[in-house]
Amino acid sequence: MRDLYEVFNDLNLEEEKDLEVMNDLEKQKWKKKLRKEIKKPVKTGRKVAVSAGCLGIAAGLFLLFADSEVLAVAKQAVEETYRSIAVWVGGTPEENDYVQEVYGKATANGREITIVDMIVDEDLLQISYQDRDLSIENFLQGGYVSRNPAEETKDNTKYFLDAELLVDGKTAGNGAVSGFRLSSETNAINGSFCIYTGDFGVDMSKVKTAELTLRQRYVEAEEEWNFSLDLEKRNLKDTTRIQELSQVFSIEDGRTVEVYRYAENEGARKLYVKVTRPENWNPDKFYSGYLQFRGVTDQKQKVLFKAAAGDIYLLNRNINSNTKSITIIPEVIPRGEVGEAVPEEGIPIGESFTIQVNN
């Protein structure tokens, strides 16, 4: 397979018919940025991540055109190859001075976990990490992943983690690793998780240092992973734009859903959702499926707000810079049988609503 850096370096943006929507200045800007990032020597993991983020943005520009299967594969390769949060937000270190490198390591339960980098705003930490199992030389050979989805794999539940944030020795927020990528070639897991501090009333813009603890969720273990976080980068609270909402929906299993806020800054686009359950509500008996918010922008780009932590649902991708609004459909993805494919679209639980966005 041709190297992605090579592919993007050779792209002639002026001759791309589909890119006529870009003016000459924009074309030159992206060509210059791509070539600058691709050709510079890579000295740190951060520069690799920044280059990946830049390529991700370029792929995103092309992917405005849904028929481009090749570029869809390229974008997926970028996202799977690089673990950094820079893939989410793109750009350069100067532009993204709110993305903080950490590279803090801790070893417990035969695994080395590295906190790679993070983004911090008033009530949400977005953290990327790597989990290296020191007892497994190769996940594929060890039976933890398979190239054939029909083959059974060994139990990987020990890699699901709970996260707790401590400020001055007190709990300030919680989060969890609910999904990750097991590499088929190495013993490394690359993933990300979020911690929401809103439930504890902690304003992270006023916090300088914090402690992070990771624990195995499903497999009991005596050890845990502990990290010290120095919140030296600027907090995004001052740049956050907020739109108050009042959308209420009912789910047939008895739950009530209130969408009460939309907030955006350089690091995230956040939908705030409060779910209320009736007294004595039993999830094993009543639960009909998980909640998601599917949407489409005024530029006809499909998006999805996915559960992150606490009340927050995060937009799952960058959107066209011309976007002014997103129309959102609240829906429930039905709980299926074990092993069944999860559908992309669920059952609507109410009328769509529209939020205004800034770019």
Are 261 and 223 in a shared domain?
no
Are 271 and 326 in a shared domain?
yes
- Three-class DSSP category at 52: helix
- Three-class DSSP category at 54: helix
Residue 212 in contact with residue 226, Cβ under 8 Å? Answer: yes
Binned at pLDDT 50, 70 and 90, residue 29 comes out as low
* Strand 289-297, strand 347-348: pairing: unpaired
What's the mean pLDDT in 33-41? 52
Give the torsion sign (CA, 262, 264, 270, 275).
negative
Binned at pLDDT 50, 70 and 90, residue 336 comes out as low
What are the tens digits of pLDDT across the range 209-228? 999 999 999 988 889 999 99
Residue 353 has pLDDT above 90, yes or no: yes
What are the tens digits of pLDDT across the range 140-166? 888 888 777 778 888 888 999 999 999
Are 212 and 252 in a shared domain?
no
What are the tens digits of pLDDT across the range 240-285? 999 999 999 999 888 999 999 999 998 899 999 999 999 888 887 8
The chain-wide mean pLDDT, for the chain, equals: 78
Report percent pLDDT > 90 for the chain. 44
Residue 136 in contact with residue 187, Cβ under 8 Å? Answer: yes
Q: Which of 24-33, 67-76, 88-97, 169-178 has the highest mean pLDDT?
A: 169-178
pLDDT of residue 262: 97
Q: What is the H or E stretch that residue 128 is in?
A: strand 124-133
User: b or e along 325-334 (b: 16 or more beta carbons within 10 Å of the residue's beta carbon)?
Assistant: ebebbbbbbe
Both tokens assigned to 82: 């690089």
Are 189 and 286 in a shared domain?
no
What's the mean pLDDT in 329-334? 91
Q: What is the H or E stretch that residue 225 is in?
A: strand 225-230
- How many of the other CB atoms lie within 10 Å of CB of 294? 20
Whether 275 maps to a domain, the answer reads yes
- Three-class DSSP category at 6: helix
What are the tens digits of pLDDT across the range 46-100? 444 444 445 554 544 444 444 444 455 544 544 444 434 444 444 444 456 788 8
Whether 235 maps to a domain, the answer reads no
Report percent pLDDT > 70 for the chain. 71
Q: How many domains does the chain have?
A: 3
Are 26 and 68 in a shared domain?
yes
Residue 67 in contact with residue 95, Cβ under 8 Å? Answer: no
pTM: predicted TM-score of the whole model, two decimal places: 0.73
Boundaries of domain holding 219: 99-230
Give the torsion sign (CA, 40, 359, 249, 175).
positive
What's the mean pLDDT in 281-307? 89
Binned at pLDDT 50, 70 and 90, residue 317 comes out as confident
Whether 94 maps to a domain, the answer reads no
Which of 230, 257, 287 terminates a domain? The answer is 230
Domain containing residue 114: CATH number:
2.60.40
What's the mean pLDDT in 23-33? 53
pLDDT of residue 49: 45
pLDDT of residue 290: 87
Side chain identity at residue 280, one-letter code: N
Which of 230, 250, 270 terminates a domain? The answer is 230
Whether 110 maps to a domain, the answer reads yes
Both tokens assigned to 97: 């001075």
What's the mean pLDDT in 90-114? 79
Both tokens assigned to 36: 């600058």
Q: pLDDT: is 126 or 24 the higher one?
A: 126
Domain containing residue 299: CATH number:
2.60.40.1640
Are 205 and 318 in a shared domain?
no
Residue 17 has pLDDT above 70, yes or no: no
Measured over all CA atoms, what is the biggest interatomic distance in the chain, rounded to whole angstroms? Answer: 63
CA–CA distance from 17 to each of 7, 13, 20, 62, 323 (Å)? 17, 9, 6, 11, 21
Are 226 and 247 in a shared domain?
no
Residue 207 in contact with residue 167, Cβ under 8 Å? Answer: yes
**Residues in contact with 4: Cβ distance below 8 Å, sequence separation at least 6, in sequence order:** 55, 74, 77, 78, 81
d(CA 293, CA 302): 11
Are 160 and 195 in a shared domain?
yes
Residue 340 has pLDDT above 80, yes or no: no
Are 70 and 106 in a shared domain?
no
